[in-house]
Amino acid sequence: MRTPVIAGNWKMNKGPAEAAELINELKPLVKEAKATVVVCVPAIDIPAAKKALKGSKIKLGAQNVHFKESGAFTGELSASMLKEAGVEYVIIGHSERRQYFAETDETVNLRVKAAVAGGLIPIICVGEKKEQREAGYTDALVAYQTLIALTGLTEDEIKKVIIAYEPVWAIGTGLTATDEQANETIGVIREAIRAKYGKRVSDRVRIQYGGSMNPKNVKGLMAQPQIDGGLIGGASLKAEDFAKVVHFE
Ligand code: PEP
């Protein structure tokens, strides 16, 4: 019922020329994809990526958006700027933004609202640190992060957002949540949405797993009923690997 969505998060990798190169390699490999495919490129790459993506079904994503429309916010980009440049999706609240750039649940919520108001689809990242999992806080934490992030959106708007469950201890570490752990925690997120907004909303929201997803583990993860796709870091930087993840066979 929910179309899977596989999104690459290139992080701070590749300039415009390399971005175009990678997209040109990727295009033929994912032509037949059943999943929605998104590449979230560095902001400087957006025009080159947009050009390279012409004629392809791959969607263009950014890695952050500011919550104001314009003004004295040096270094930031607004939703309307991204939209004008051809961006359709935007990652919000990635754990690296939370860890290194002081993002909080409240600023994540502001960014989510600005993205939705500006016609972008947010990919909202939530997830626990290792010590939080060990202390037994995972479920409460991801439910809280999710509900705060969605505050102020209408039910119709919530149906269109994408949540990425990314255990912080699994990002870029080669460690992956087990299929069951990922499925269970994503189930907790869906249940939190159901309890507040009802089943018609929670059944529609796509919830990805992220954290060292790669061609070897994608099949098991994607076989889980709660998992609707992946947010992929390292494995999105090589066309062949990313294409294997996209096809998850
Ligand atoms: C990410 O950056 O969102 C991510 C999941 O990275 P990796 O796949 O490298 O763990």
Q: Measure the CA–CA gap between 152 and 39, rounded to whole angstroms.
A: 27
Q: Of all protein residues, whose CA lies closest to atom 7 belonging to ligand 1?
A: 233
Looking only at the bridges linking them, the beta strands covering 229-232 and 206-210 are: parallel
Read off the pLDDT of residues 94-130 as tens digits, 9 standing for 90 and up. 999 999 999 999 999 999 999 999 999 999 999 999 9
User: Is 212 near ligand 1, meaning CB less than 6 Å away?
Assistant: yes
Read off the pLDDT of residues 148-194 as tens digits, 9 standing for 90 and up. 999 999 999 999 999 999 999 999 898 889 999 999 999 999 999 99
The structure's pTM equals: 0.98
**How far from the centroid of its chain's Cα atoms is residue 22's Cα?**
19
Using alpha carbons, select from 166, 228, 168, 183 the residue that is nearest to residue 203. 228
Q: Predicted confidence band at 241 (pLDDT cuts at 50, 70, 90)?
A: very high
pLDDT of 1 > 90? The answer is no
- Residue-level pLDDT at 174: 87
Domain boundaries 5-246, corresponding CATH code = 3.20.20.70
By annotation, the residues acting in catalysis are: 94, 166
**How far from the centroid of its chain's Cα atoms is residue 201's Cα?**
19
Using alpha carbons, select from 31, 36, 39, 34 the residue that is nearest to residue 5. 36
Q: Of all protein residues, whose CA lies closest to atom 1 belonging to ligand 1?
A: 233
Give the start-to-end residue ranges of the domains of the chain.
5-246
User: Would you state the structure tokens that stand for residue 21, as one six-digit string?
Assistant: 């190169």
User: Would you state the structure tokens that stand for residue 98, as one six-digit string?
Assistant: 């939370």
User: Is 41 near ligand 1, meaning CB less than 6 Å away?
Assistant: no
